[in-house]
């Protein structure tokens, strides 16, 4: 299963990595599931490579939808492309067809929009290009988050997310789920803890930079206030687990 561009990191995998993934699948007879729903949400002129385009033999299922590049998630309209060598996959494909026919209750009017969307004016390009709303929001969120002491982040080149790291020396968090629940209660800003994405250590979190600039400033400002309070309490010798619990008047303001 490959999510490229990636949620939650906003990373775009280089072609060399994708080729290695194809090679692993080839060697072990695996089917590749490629979720490429953010394939048009790209910044800084980077290019996305479709995994399915890298081989003609490895069975690859590529998923996409109107939800992201066309901002039409309410339509519930997506599609699946099967590529590669299908000779050993007849039963599998029959199963997919059966599922589509019987179980998914397809949104037929929404499906009519797909062809028009794919062939029509690609309004996403205005949003991600220089001066575009998503591009500006990405830059602002990155700048504000990176300015918080002890917080570092890889600048996302795609999608709508970034995955900052909290330096454990500055933020010795033991249970990140609990920590971000406390942050939510104190600031009313919802972030997802890294372990929620199966990240192994309690030292990352995900930000969605979809809100408008004004709201991003407000929200990240509150997060910065919460983290500042945590640092002050921690530095003052309060045990790490309790540091986040104490009422956070500043952050709540």
Ligand X SMILES: Cc1ncc(COP(=O)(O)O)c(C=O)c1O
User: For residues 18 and 37, which CB has a smaller minimum distance to ligand X in the complex?
Assistant: 37
Q: Is 37 in the site for ligand X (CB under 6 A)?
A: yes
Residue 7 binds to ligand X (criterion: CB under 6 A): yes
HSE-up of 215 (CA within 13 Å, CB side)? 9
Q: Give the residue closest to ligand X by C-beta.
A: 65
Which listed residue (49, 65, 187, 193) binds ligand X by CB under 6 A? 65
Sign of the dihedral defined by the CA atoms of residues 210, 142, 162, 21, in that order: positive
Interaction between residue 36 and ligand X (CB under 6 A): no
238 forms part of the interface with ligand X (CB under 6 A): no
Using CB under 6 A as the binding rule, whether residue 203 contacts ligand X is answered as no
How far is the C-alpha of 38 from the C-alpha of 9, rounded, in Å? 12
For residue 139, is the peptide bond before it cis, meaning its omega torsion is within 30 degrees of 0?
no
Q: Which is nearer to ligand X, 3 or 134 (CB)?
A: 3
* Count of residues engaged in binding ligand X, rule: CB under 6 A: 8
How does DSSP assign 54-123, residue by residue? G-SSS-EEEEEESSSTT--GGG--EEEEEES--TT-HHHHHHHHHHHHHTS---HHHHHHHHHHHHS--T
d(CA 160, CA 221) in angstroms, rounded, equals 19
Q: What's the min distance (Å) between Cβ of 146 and ligand X?
A: 23
Which one of 65-73, 85-93, 136-144, 203-211 is the stretch in contact with ligand X (CB under 6 A)? 65-73
182 binds ligand X (CB under 6 A): no
Q: What residues between 75 and 134 interact with ligand X by CB under 6 A? A: 78
- Using rule CB under 6 A, residue 3 touches ligand X: yes
> What is the spatial distance between Cα 135 and Cα 126, in angstroms, rounded to a whole number?
9
Q: Give residues in contact with ligand X (CB under 6 A).
A: 3, 7, 35, 37, 65, 67, 73, 78
């Amino acid at each position: 299963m490959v999510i490229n561009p990636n949620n939650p990191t906003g990373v775009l995998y280089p072609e060399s990595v994708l080729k290695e993934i194809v090679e692993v699948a080839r060697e072990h007879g695996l089917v590749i599931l490629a979720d490429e729903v953010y394939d048009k949400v790209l910044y800084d002129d980077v290019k996305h490579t479709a995994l399915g385009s890298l081989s003609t033999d490895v069975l690859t299922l590529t998923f996409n939808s109107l939800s992201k590049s066309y901002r039409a998630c309410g339509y519930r309209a997506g599609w699946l492309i099967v590529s590669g060598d299908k000779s050993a996959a007849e039963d599998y494909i029959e199963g997919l067809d059966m599922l589509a026919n019987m179980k998914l209750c397809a949104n037929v009017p929404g499906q009519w929009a797909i062809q028009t969307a794919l062939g029509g004016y690609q309004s996403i390009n205005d949003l991600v290009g220089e001066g575009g709303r998503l591009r500006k929001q990405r830059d602002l969120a990155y700048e504000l988050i990176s300015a918080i002491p002890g917080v570092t982040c890889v600048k996302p080149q795609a999608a709508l997310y970034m995955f900052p790291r909290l330096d454990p020396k500055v933020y010795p968090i033991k249970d990140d789920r609990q920590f971000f629940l406390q942050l939510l209660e104190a600031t009313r800003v919802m972030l997802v803890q890294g372990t929620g994405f199966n990240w192994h250590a309690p030292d990352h979190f995900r930000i969605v930079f979809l809100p408008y600039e004004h709201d991003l400033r407000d929200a990240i400002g509150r997060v910065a206030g919460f983290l500042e309070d945590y640092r002050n309490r921690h530095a003052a010798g309060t045990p790490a687990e309790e540091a986040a619990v104490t009422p956070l008047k500043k952050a709540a303001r």
